[in-house]
Structure 1
Amino acid sequence: MSLATGIGSMPGTDFAESFRIVLGEVGGLPYVPELPARGVHAGMIGRALSVLEGIEADLQPDGWRLGTSEGADLRRARSLLAQDLDGAEELAAGHTGPIKVQVAGPLTVAAMVERPRGDKMLADHGARREIAESLAEGLRTHVLDVRRRFSGADLIVQIDEPSIVAVMTGGIPTASGFGRHRSVQPPEADELLRMITRSITDAGARPVLHSCAPDVPIALLAGAGFTAISFDLGLAKPEDEWAEAFEQGIDLWVGAVPSLDARVSDTEIAGRIDTFFSRLGFADETYADRLVVSPTCGMAGASPDWARRALTLSRAVADRLDA
């Protein structure tokens, strides 16, 4: 049976209302939403930093920077995460089946967080490894906490890596803006991501990778231990790498519903998905039971009406593909 879900972020500042919408619209694969409109403490990076183990951070004019002690901003980020999980536990009491949480991955965190003395963590090989190790250790604790709250559910942890392609192709600018950080080579990226998938799996959850960047390194992600790749259908080319990953058992989570307001029907979207898989050489009966339909990316910038509509459409597309 095909399922529907969302990527993570939602518009607005009311967590309870957002989670009620998720529970009411997506059906079998709800997720704990993120609400960046509450401030950077609730954004993708703030949430990831709140999960780190053994590394503290604070907020500077240029963004998040690692420090030597927990600052008020990091305490705020951790408090918001705990409040959201408390609220989700209450609203989804007794939930069985899959449920998803999201955390930014080590490559994206390294590309967006500064070292204590400035410039990005990405600039230093040791710092990149330190971030991955800290995130892996923190995820073990985080997963156990979420599993305790949803004891009857199958937990999925989505690792968000929007910057993975830029990191691996030398596309991240230095602090001065006049240069670019050196690219992270595939063997190192594989090592860092394997730390994350191993910690998630060892804690009893399923690791999924999401990136809405073009030219996602499919083979690398499949080899690093992710069980599914969530991607933007509009940016994906139906190439052999996708087919090979699918044949190896990697599920493909298709971001096909626009994340921002648009005029589109479930029939049209389902047709695009069918076309993509047929070009890979797969008939619908081959992929229907392994398919998850979602918006193309997070919906923090969408109108509240469209955010609800996009989730409804995702479910309608999943149902249509099952018909």
Structure 2
Amino acid sequence: MVEEQRTTDERRWPWPAGAATGIGSMPGTDITEAQRIVLGELALPHLPELPGRGPGADLIGRGAALLVDLPVELYAGRWRIAGGPGRDLRRALDLWERDLDEMTEQAGEFTGTFKIQAAGPLTLAAGIELPIGGWMLRDPGAVRDLTGSLADGLREHVAQVRRRLPRATVVLQLDEPSLPAVLAGRIATESGLGAYRPVESATATGLLDTVISAVGVPVVLHCCAPDVPLDLVRAAGAAGVALDLGLVGNRLDPLGEAIDAGLGLFAGAAPTLPPPAGRAPSSAQVADRVRQLWDKLGFPRAQLAEQVVVTPACGLAGATDEYARAVLTACRDAGRRLAEE
């Protein structure tokens, strides 16, 4: 195909036509095997996340480990700002180093687009406690400090990945599952009897823009919750948004406007867990789901394969090894089907 001969600089979106990828998490604890599967199955591979390894491999702990001059620790099962680096932070950093070493070993000569993932500032603010108690979200100044620290940390993290993968095009996925709840004032206080004040949309846009502007690579914002604020995602400068298609519902107009404005879509079209006594969907079923949504939005089929990346609905950490591999294969083949139309 002609598209395969075009360079990344000649494409509007920084991924190959007909691409598929995973959201990030995979089952198990073996990073060598997980990276091998991702590289073998996907046209847009990613650095696997293995939360099954325990604290420090979870979304919040992994993201918090990237903060600059804001050390964290585990206390009563929650991450909080610490007085200095300790064993919990060292464990999280050791896991990162192990994963990056494996990525370098297996993908060091990779020449396509490669995706990495990290928690975004709003989700971290809703998941890390202040030393005096309460989520960082309660203190706007602390949230600003966290965002600046994360921007610095992700800038260096992305630069390190680019050094390790010198021939690849790196894309960063910011995971923001808490974003709609933060905007709506639905994050519960530590007592559970109340909720923190909503963060204004303009403030959230500025915080995300701070991080997106700092990293120097295209950013896809992932949110597997309903009511993803697509206008905010666009205003913050993201190149794409990753959604669970099962949560789009009838909110087609905002999605259509975002796509028309040029936002890439990572379409979560395959379930992360099999139905009872069921098996992974076929590539034809996954492709049909993406195609049906695209047709409802009214965009030309020729545009679909370039602007859309096929993904599972969310991470695959809760799946079996067999099901995770089958879903990634179905997404890969669905992307190819869409590119051939």
TM-score w.r.t. the length of structure 1 is 0.97
Distance 1:312 1:271 in 2: 15
| Cα shift readout 1:123-169 (whole Å, capped 9, x = no counterpart) | 11111111111100111110110000000000000000011011111
Distance 2:107 2:282 in 1: 30
The aligned residue for residue 300 of structure 1 is: 317
Distance 2:209 2:180 in 1: 17
* One-letter amino acid of the structure 1 residue matched with residue 268 of structure 2: G
User: Does structure 2 conserve the Cα–Cα contact (< 8 Å) formed by 1:100 and 1:157?
Assistant: yes
* One-letter amino acid of the structure 2 residue matched with residue 172 of structure 1: I
- Structure 1 residue 59: deviation in Å? 0.7
- Structure 1 residue 40: deviation in Å? 1.6
Structure 2: where are the runs of 5+ without partners? 1-16
Partner SS, residue 42 of structure 1:
coil
| Cα shift readout 1:223-268 (whole Å, capped 9, x = no counterpart) | 1000000100010135222122112211111010111124322222
Distance 2:286 2:104 in 1: 33
The aligned residue for residue 247 of structure 1 is: 260
Partner SS, residue 65 of structure 2:
helix
- Structure 1 residue 102: deviation in Å? 0.3
* One-letter amino acid of the structure 1 residue matched with residue 236 of structure 2: A
* One-letter amino acid of the structure 2 residue matched with residue 151 of structure 1: P
User: Does structure 2 conserve the Cα–Cα contact (< 8 Å) formed by 1:261 and 1:303?
Assistant: no
The aligned residue for residue 228 of structure 1 is: 240
The aligned residue for residue 190 of structure 1 is: 205
Distance 1:132 1:236 in 2: 28
* One-letter amino acid of the structure 2 residue matched with residue 295 of structure 1: P
171-180 vs 234-243, which deviates more? 234-243
256-265 vs 16-25, which deviates more? 256-265
- Structure 1 residue 93: deviation in Å? 2.4
TM-score w.r.t. the length of structure 2 is 0.92
Instruction: Report the number of matched residues.
Output: 319
- Structure 1 residue 275: deviation in Å? 1.4
276-285 vs 104-113, which deviates more? 276-285
- Alignment of structure 1 residues 197-208 onto 2, 5 Å: 197-201=212-216, 205-208=217-220
| Structure 1 runs (4+) greater than 4 angstroms displaced | none
Distance 2:22 2:289 in 1: 18
Structure 1: where are the runs of 5+ without partners? none
- Alignment of structure 1 residues 278-293 onto 2, 5 Å: 278-293=295-310
What is the RMSD computed on CA atoms of the aligned residues? Answer: 1.0
Query: Paired residue for 1:61, among 76, 91, 104?
Result: 76
* 2:228 corresponds to 1:216: yes
The aligned residue for residue 171 of structure 2 is: 156
